[in-house]
Amino acid sequence: MTRTARAAAMTVALAGSCCGGGPERGSDAARATPRPAVTDEDVLDAALADLATYVGEDSPVAFRGVVAAPLLVARDAADWPVTEAALLDRHEFKAWQAFPRSEEAALAQAAQNLVSRTTRHAGFGVFRSDNPRIQIFAPESAPKPKYSFLAARPIRMWPPGYSADNRIAIVRMSIPWSIHHADGTFVLANRQGAWSVLVREFIYYP
């Protein structure tokens, strides 16, 4: 199946910040529950690492089983509007069946938090990464593209959203794809201090 033919949404579920910590929670229940310490940088890095190594046919950055590294990533947060419905929409429901039903409420909290942070322009500062597969895009020092401005389009990321207990996070990206783009949504779980991807979803826009 060609990429052009895959203009519809494609979803893959997996089993398996420099920049300030996760959101503050004011409820008594949230304060009473021990929460792992989280940073935006860690969860964004985990989602990008997954994108940089995933070579499924629905990947917007892989071609013939190879990801062209490094990925060009904007250092500042995206701040244009995104909705909870867009974050939680399941375009291929079967692919989400691996996501635990017990975490549905936490996922909804994470989506709500991402939207709230975006609305309040609560970004993640200046993103940095030590991953050699990731290159931070700095507009003022970027070389002029030799062939097309498309070569200089970086991946944009919204500030992550977190569940009340900081165990579930959701990351949203706008990923350049040819002359178009794909939206990537990643759902991650904090397991003993390390983030692992539970769900990845790519929606293509022709």
* Chain segment 96-151, per-residue pLDDT in tens: 778 999 999 999 999 999 999 999 999 998 899 999 999 998 765 555 554 444 45
Burial grade of 196 (CB within 10 A; 0-12, 13-18, 19 or more): middle
pLDDT given for residue 91 in this prediction: 80
**Is 201 a residue whose pLDDT tops 50?**
yes
Q: Which two tokens stand for residue 7?
A: 């203009």
Q: Is 43 helix (H, G, I), strand (E, B) or coil?
A: helix
For residue 21, give the DSSP letter.
Answer: B
pLDDT given for residue 193 in this prediction: 87
pLDDT given for residue 144 in this prediction: 55
Which pTM was predicted? 0.80
Averaged pLDDT score across all residues of the chain: 81
Residue that the structure tokens 């860690």 belong to: 42
* Residues 13-54 pLDDT 10s: 444 444 545 554 444 444 444 566 689 999 999 999 999 999
The strand pairing partners of 187, in sequence order, are 170, 199
Q: Give the model's confidence band at 177: pLDDT under 50 very low, under 70 low, under 90 confident, else very high.
A: confident
pLDDT given for residue 117 in this prediction: 96
